[in-house]
């Protein structure tokens, strides 16, 4: 029989199901239930997914917040980009624009900060290396996440969302001091 021909029995739903088919349906159902309950479990206990917030904003409004933070907490400069050391527990702002992350942040180990991210122009990807933090940063939205660096060192912010010809040069830095 082919799929182009009608079934030999017109009332096909009365045809008994084979044991192998019932077994595979049962296995698929059990697997679906396991995955259904594992997703919220890993979100709560697995510490794998970021719990973040998103707010609508405009590029000029977010740029003003970044400029205010840079003016208040600038401690140095590297390759023309300011290095900012905000107080512990404060709101920290970083923006993506063609083709840089601005400014460079200097944070303290084992201290919490609220990191605000937004894009001035295109979609950008915020990927903190070597830590597994990945977010899509879009213009018109402010992504907010609470970060508590638990390792001192120099971390690189990579754009992992293609944003044009200079995409491969779009790097930022976050320094975590003891």
pLDDT score for 53: 87
Range of the domain at 70: 52-177
**Pairwise CA distance, residues 113 & 133, whole Å:** 15
CA distance 145 to 9: 60
Count of domains for the chain: 1
Residue 121 falls within a domain, yes or no?
yes
- Asked if the structure places residue 125 within a domain, the reply is yes
Give a yes or no: residue 166 inside a domain: yes
For residue 117, count other CB atoms closer than 10 A to its CB. 25
Q: Does 42 reside within a domain? A: no
Q: What is the pLDDT of residue 85?
A: 94
- For 36, the 3-state DSSP assignment is helix
Which value, in Å, is the radius of gyration of the alpha carbons in the chain?
Answer: 25
Evaluate if pTM is beyond 0.95: no
Cα 163 to the chain's mean position, in Å?
A: 16
In a domain, 1, yes or no: no
Q: Kindly give, in sequence order, each residue whose CB lies less than 8 Å from that of residue 55, ignoring residues fewer than 6 positions away.
A: 141, 142, 144
Q: Is 25 within a domain?
A: no
24 assigned to some structural domain: no
Instruction: Describe the strand order of the beta sheet including 171-177 as a list of residue ranges.
Output: 74-78, 81-84, 104-108, 171-177, 153-158, 124-129, 133-137
Could you tell me the CATH number of the domain that includes residue 156? 2.60.40.420
pLDDT given at position 58: 94
Q: Provide the pLDDT for residue 102.
A: 92
What tens-digit pLDDT sequence spans the chain (178 residues)?
456 766 666 776 777 888 999 999 999 999 999 999 998 888 778 766 677 888 999 999 999 999 999 999 999 999 889 999 999 989 999 999 988 999 999 999 999 999 999 999 989 999 988 887 888 999 999 999 888 888 999 999 999 989 889 888 999 999 999 8
């Amino acid at each position: 029989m082919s799929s182009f021909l009608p079934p030999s029995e017109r009332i096909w739903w009365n045809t008994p199901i084979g044991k192998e088919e019932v077994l595979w349906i049962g296995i698929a159902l059990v697997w679906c239930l396991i995955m259904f309950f594992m997703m919220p479990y890993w979100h709560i206990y697995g510490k794998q997914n970021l719990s973040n917030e998103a707010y609508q904003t405009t590029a000029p409004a977010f740029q003003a917040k970044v400029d205010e933070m840079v003016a208040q907490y600038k401690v140095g400069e590297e390759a023309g980009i300011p290095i900012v050391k905000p107080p512990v527990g404060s709101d920290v702002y970083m923006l993506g624009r063609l083709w840089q992350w601005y400014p460079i942040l200097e944070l303290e180990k084992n201290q919490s900060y609220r990191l605000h991210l937004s894009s001035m122009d295109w979609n950008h990807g915020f990927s903190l290396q070597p830590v597994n933090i990945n977010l899509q940063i879009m213009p018109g939205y402010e992504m907010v996440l609470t970060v508590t660096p638990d390792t001192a060192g120099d971390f690189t912010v990579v754009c992992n969302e293609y944003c044009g010809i200079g995409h491969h040069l779009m790097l930022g830095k976050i320094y975590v001091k003891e």
